[in-house]
Chain A
Amino acid sequence: MQENENISHEHDDDEQHEHAHDDNDTMEHTHEHDNDEQHDHADHHEESFIRKYIFSLDHKMIGKQFLIYGLIMLFVGGGLALLFRWQLAYPETPELEGGKPAKAAKPLPIIGPSQKYIDDGEVVTGADKMWERIYDSDKEEFLEVNMPSGLIEPHFYNMLFTMHATIMVFFVVVPILVGAFGNFLIPLMIGTRDMAFPVLNMLSFWLAVLAAVIMAAGFFVPGGHASAGWTGYAPLSADPQWTGVGWGLNLWAISLLIQGFSSLVGSINYITTIINMRAPGMTFLRLPLVIWSLFIVAILLLLAFPVLSSALALLIFDRLAGTTFFTSTAEGGGSSLLWQHLFWFFGHPEVYILILPGMGIASELIAVNSRKPIFGYRSMVYAMIAIAFLGWVVWGHHMFQSGMRPGMGAFFMTTTMLIAVPSAIKTFNWLGTMFRGSIRFTTPMLHAIAFVSMFVIGGLSGIYMANTPVDIYIHDTYYIVAHIHYVVFGGSLFAIFGGIIFWFPKMYGRYMNDTLSKIHFWLTFIAFNCTFFPMHILGVGGHMRRISNPMQYEYLQTFEGMNIFITMSAFTLGFVQLILVFNFVWSIYRGKVAEKNPWNVTTLEWEAPTPVPHGNFAQIPTVYRGPYEYSVPGEESDFIPQAQPEHAPASAGD
């Protein structure tokens, strides 16, 4: 009988079978690393380099891979921003009636040619030599097309900000927050050995790499890269004739589709893991807030990204198959607003995907460093759930001026005001957590404090924009740019930096250098505010976003000085990040060796040995209490780990 031949299969434990079946349509069966009690085999055999560092199935390694990936992309995205910031500071000033005197644009530093070369063709610098060669060659060189003589072409400018935002949103913040922290923290903090589907986890990372490669390739195809903004508004994006961009935009869409698959696979994994694999005693209301935030974000990613995918698919049909979904024609044509509806139906949940894990991380850092329980743990959870629900009915606030019916505007203003409330609740609860605490100003805590204060600014600026009459004026101006960056850079990125420094000892078994971290923090904090706060003013002055040359407008010429200041600050901000990279890399090898629980934290990840072995825990811990038992009255120690068994109750009545 056939059944008998496979008798060994019948005896496999349940877990292995599930994986075998679940994965069989996508990939080959690799040896199973799943969580089961008999895990000690992992300690005995050394894995090959490729298994361990490249095609790793271990959630911690995949988390680190995502982290490195995100940091590399952070520099790519940041570099693009510096290029266009230069253009904004030193554009050409045309002759305008009543305006400033005309002035030529200033070429980029380092790669731009020298003044001598521009004036009389004399080769002085290495860059001059390069330009000489470029102009002599018959080939259409990249630099010649996009930044002739070190000046950024308007079309290239559009590519730059499009890719800057696309990369930052899809290839930096989400991969780091969800991919890196999600992977690293979820199994450790809920007390299990790995993710539910390790192979899918690996797949998720490599799909993200593929997406990044495709996205990068877009720069080098004829016609250049996508240049319709990260929001890719149709019909501009729907027909190559409007932008002159051919395959660049197709690759943009394809890359995002692949990134969508990566997120899908990742979120299935996270949700399943959190629902099914919590350690004994780890009830939902004992989950650390960062896990709650990642759980909610995984659900949002799962549900939001497919909507973008549907829009991208339609867009690709429009571009390649001659459909007219996004182009309204007189007869039987599509709708110019459809793209915006689909995009923002995805997009608003997406922006909360960008911030919720940051909120989670900040909550951890604040509780640990204030040595206090989270103020109103339950309302923190409910606030996040409320945000996740309300996030689906506010997308129209991005479309107040789009030509949507004004009545809809009123509806979306109301829902948007509603979503501001849970955001405010969270802020007050963070303050409450510090109230009567014993605050340790560790570097992660500094980042958490920066997170809270920057998020306050971002949230408050949101109120202006939620107000439809005021939004008429500030929509599509630098006010929006300021808002975005206060929430995503000031919010998410500070949380990321804080989180990296905080969990670094668990990731690499060493501390990051604290002096360097502190220098990095303060310089970043100052440069960040110098860069982005003035953008509020630009916005109030009516300075549009996505224009390559503000000097073409008489009423914006007053802002020349401010634009230069912003650019200088931005360059500072960019270069300061090198400190972080240096510190990061150096500390992996040379940092001070960390003990098991260096910050005296209650949650489970600190129960695992450092560095965390394959399989995480010698024995799966049992959870006895909530995650924030700090400074419990009558206790000797000022923290009680979640996994510490019950002991004699503290003397009552203190």
Chain B
Amino acid sequence: MLGWLPENISEYAQGVDKLFALIYWITVVAFVLVIGTLIVFLIKYRHRAGHRAEYIEGSTKLEIIWTAVTTVIVFGLAMLSFPEWNNLKSPAENPDYVVQVRGEQFNWYMIYPGPDNELGTEDDLELENELYVPEDKLVQILLTSKDVIHSFFIPNLRQKQDALPNQTIDTLKFQAREPGRYEIPCAELCGFGHSGMLGYLIVQTQEEYDAWVAEQWPE
């Protein structure tokens, strides 16, 4: 199961895969125990001639035990997730780069602030469906939408965030470790073109990225 996860290139979200693996093993063990018990019971206590069921109305002790065990496990998992969650869904502190992303039926528009580092100015650059970032740098995405709700999903970064019309969400950030080209599908139904609404994350080495910047904003 875990092998099906796409490559994880996120500095931030390594913990997600660890949590995933942990839950995976907990659930596998729980599944095997429960279904194993079930099968054993089905075989052992199948109806046989001359055999009678035992009249058992319950056992408070057992019930307390399994309630307690389940509670401890699920709350343990919750405790483990809190830091990870806060880590993933908090605004970036001192991001190296900020890019605004706008969903609009049925494209992602990436708006780069340009040399002045300020969005909403003359030198902004708007690209359709292409998000260029350098590797190993903290990138903050300011996510918004023009029309309906879209969802900005980068499987390789384990990140997903809905984009809301007329609202900017600043909690999306990442740091990509591997140069390459990754897909950014839209994950929230947004109309008949939802399927195929697709952008690309292009992670470059710092040199490549600087070259790209020089090309986009010639002096």
A and B touch in the complex (CB under 8 A): yes
Identify the A interface with B (CB < 8 A): 153-155, 157-158, 227-229, 233, 235-236, 242-244, 327-330, 333, 336-337, 370-373, 375-379, 401-403, 406, 409-410, 413-414, 417-418, 420-421, 424-425, 427-429, 431-432, 434-441, 449, 452-453, 456-457, 460-461, 463-464, 466-470, 472-473, 475-477, 536-537, 540-542, 544, 546-549, 552-555, 630-633, 638
Q: How far is the CB of A553 from chain B (nearest CB, A)?
A: 6
Complexed CA–CA distance, A220 and B207 (Å): 58
CB distance from B73 to the nearest CB of A (A): 9
Q: Is B20 an interface residue (CB 8 A)?
A: yes
Closest to B192 in A: A155
A470 pairs with B20, CB closer than 8 A: yes
Cβ distance B14 to chain A, nearest Cβ, rounded Å: 11
Identify which of A402, A452, A536, A632 gathers the most chain B CB atoms within 10 Å of its CB. Answer: A402
A375 interface neighbour in B42, B58, B155, B188, Cβ under 8 Å: B58
The answer to whether A406 and B187 touch (CB under 8 A), given A376-B58, A427-B34, is: no
Query: Which chain B residues (81-99) contact chain A, with CB distance < 8 Å?
Result: 81-82, 84-86, 88-90
Q: B194 is contacted by which of A402, A437, A477, A546 (Cβ under 8 Å)?
A: A546
- Residue B179 interfacial (CB < 8 Å): no
A281 vs B58: C-alpha distance in the bound complex, in angstroms? 23
Q: Is the CB of A468 within 8 A of B45?
A: no
Beta-carbon contact of B187 and A477 below 8 Å = yes
User: Binary interface profile of B, 1-34, with partner A (CB < 8 Å = 1, else 0)?
Assistant: 1101110000001011001100100110011001
Contact with A along B164-200 (1 / 0, CB 8 A): 1111010100000000000101111111111110100
Is B151 in the interface zone, CB < 8 Å from A? yes
Q: How far is the CA of A375 from the CA of B66 in the complex (A)?
A: 13
Decide if B67 touches A421 in the complex (CB within 8 Å).
yes
* Chain B residues within 8 Å of A403, by CB: 161-164, 167, 169
Cβ A438 vs Cβ B16 within 8 A: no
Asked whether B77 lies within 8 Å of A463 as measured between CB atoms, the reply is yes
- What's the interface size class on B, roughly? 35 or more
Bound-state Cα–Cα, A12 to B114, Å? 86
* Interface flag for B219 (CB, 8 Å): no
Cross-chain contact B45 with A242 (CB below 8 angstroms): no
Any A CB within 8 A of the CB of B59: yes
Establish whether residues B160 and A373, one from each chain, have CB atoms under 8 Å apart when the complex forms: no
Contact of A439 among B34, B47, B105 (CB under 8 A): B47
Is the CB–CB distance between B89 and A406 below 8 Å?
yes
Name the residue on B nearest A544 (C-beta).
Answer: B187
Picked from B31, B189, B191, the residue with its CB within 8 Å of the CB of A456 is B31
Asked if B160 contacts A472 (CB within 8 A), the reply is yes
Assembled-state Cα–Cα distance A330/B144 (Å): 14
Contact present for A424 and B66 (CB under 8 Å) = yes
Question: Could you show 24 A-B contacts with beta carbons less than 8 Å apart?
Answer: A155-B192, A235-B165, A236-B190, A242-B190, A243-B192, A376-B59, A410-B86, A421-B70, A421-B74, A428-B63, A428-B66, A431-B41, A435-B56, A437-B45, A438-B46, A441-B46, A463-B23, A467-B78, A467-B81, A472-B159, A473-B16, A540-B4, A544-B153, A632-B55
